Amino acid sequence: MQVVLPLAGYGKRMRPQTWSKPKPLVSVAGKPVLGHVLDTLEAASPDSYTLITGWLGEQVRDYMASEHPQLTARYVVQEELKGQAHAIYLAKEWLKGPTLIVFVDTLFAGNVRNLGSEGEDGIIWTKEVPDPRRFGIVVVEDGYIKRFVEKPSTTEHRQAIIGAYWVRDGEALIRATETLMASGRSLGGEYYLADALQAMVDEGARFVTRPVSVWEDCGTPEALLHTQRYLLDHGHHREVPVEDAVLVPPVHVADGAVIRRSVIGPYVSVGNGARVEDSVVRDSVIEAGATVSRQVLANSLVGRQAIVGGDVRSVNIGDDAVLESGSA
């Protein structure tokens, strides 16, 4: 089985973090979002990965080569952002047989084993939500998906699509996508994967749902911090010995971090090579190589090699930025 990971978007909702790195490489609870996704997919025992990159895609290649060299990875560049289905279509050379598609902007906990063991043609992972009107949802009848609906106007059907899909026949998905794009049916110039899957269902494909117990968003700063709280509460807590400092769990502190005369936590991750001195930090992400000094900091994202000093309280600054008293 192959895995396709579309991650070509600009990540505009995560700026300024995504001015200098693609959204899947934003750090949360000690590793990039992409790293957490790959951990989840390991249980599916995929043969290969196809990553559809775009903005700053070379950083994704470098990350995979450095941190996951054991994985067989291919790369396709989506130069024009024409939607989800178009992104999948670009990987048509490798979409043969069983294919798992996962969008790398959310983290989930669910069963990715024994795919297709019941003879189904496809699986859509979903989670029931109180108000489905801002999500894509599925309508199930007699155990099988009958309709895909984007942002329904009512709350009758509440099985929200989380962004993970399995199809038994990747080539059938490509044919459905070709038909969709040939028809010109798009929304805002983008072709949606749900429309291609609906075409497969209309042709007789049997799709079922699988529930997930956890669905966490990483698409905005606020959502990312919420996701970090969940991860640190569920197995990603990590402490290292510190001198003249206090760690208030749960936290995730990398081996190469330096913490002095500070209180860190709860719900803080500190990356490799970061320095935190004379500060109190909670509910924040301090990425690799960053420096935080003389701070009482909360609900903050501090990018790689960024510097924060003085009296700031709450920040969201990207890589290599400098924010100190008197620097504005």
What is the per-residue pLDDT for 325? Answer: 64
3 state DSSP class of 89: helix
Whether the CB-CB separation of 48 and 94 falls below 8 Å is answered with: yes
pLDDT of residue 320: 80
Q: What is the rounded distance in angstroms from the CA atom of residue 285 to the CA atom of residue 225?
A: 8
Name the stretches of the chain with pLDDT < 70: 312, 325-328
- The two tokens of residue 147 are 């309709």
Query: Model-level pTM?
Result: 0.92
pLDDT attached to residue 66: 96
pLDDT (0 to 100) of residue 61: 96
**Please, where in the chain does CATH 2.160.10.10 lie?**
237-323
Contact criterion met (CB below 8 Å) for 21 and 12? no
Sorted by sequence, the CB contacts under 8 Å of residue 32 that are 6+ apart come out as 24, 25, 26, 63
The partner residues of 43 in beta bridges, in order of sequence, read none
pLDDT given for residue 327 in this prediction: 47
How far is residue 20 from each of residues 23, 58, 126, 256, measured CA to CA in Å? 9, 12, 32, 22
Burial category of 3 from C-beta neighbours within 10 Å (exposed 0-12, middle 13-18, buried 19 and up): buried
Q: Options 3.40.50.2020, 3.90.550.10, 3.20.20.70, 3.40.50.300; which CATH number does 2-221 get?
A: 3.90.550.10
Supply the pLDDT for residue 55. 87
The neighbouring-strand residues paired with 323 are 308
pLDDT of amino acid 328: 43
Q: Does domain 237-323 have CATH number 3.20.20.80?
A: no
Whether the bond into 32 is cis, omega within 30 of 0 = no
Tell me the two tokens of residue 60. 């994704």
Question: 145 with 209: CB under 8 angstroms?
Answer: yes
Q: Which long-range contacts (CB under 8 A, 24 or more apart) does 127-135 make?
A: 127/159, 127/160, 127/162, 127/211, 127/212, 127/215, 128/158, 128/159, 128/160, 128/211, 129/158, 129/160, 130/155, 130/158, 131/155, 132/157, 132/158, 132/159, 132/160, 135/160, 135/161
Tell me how far apart the alpha carbons of residues 120 and 144 are, in angstroms, rounded to a whole number. 9
The pLDDT, as a whole number, for residue 309 is: 85
N-to-C CA span, the chain: 52
Neighbours of 88 (CB within 10 A): 27
Please give the helix or strand (H or E) that residue 178 lies within, else none: helix 170-183
